[in-house]
Amino acid sequence: MSLKTRIKEYREKAGLKQSELAELVHARRETIVHLENGKYNPSLKLAMDIAGVFQTTVEELFEFTDE
């Protein structure tokens, strides 16, 4: 099972850099990089904070697939 995210798509649409998003959600830039690459499973709080920045749902940003 792998994690797919749409964070990069939403971040670029909002005109944010990885470091700016990281600052908004009180995380490290490296965490955002790993999230965008599907190499890190966020805590529920972090997922909700990121969704809040983009005014969307966690389900819209994150999806587990069978790949």
pLDDT band at 65 (very low <50, low <70, confident <90, very high): confident
CATH number of the 2-65 domain: 1.10.260.40
User: What value does the mean pLDDT take over residues 35-58?
Assistant: 95
Domain boundaries, the chain: 2-65
- Reported pTM: 0.91
Residue 34: closest CA among 67, 5, 57: 5
Does residue 43 surpass a pLDDT of 90?
A: yes
Does residue 30 surpass a pLDDT of 70?
A: yes
pLDDT value at position 67?
Answer: 67
Rounded Cα gap, residues 26 and 13, in angstroms: 20
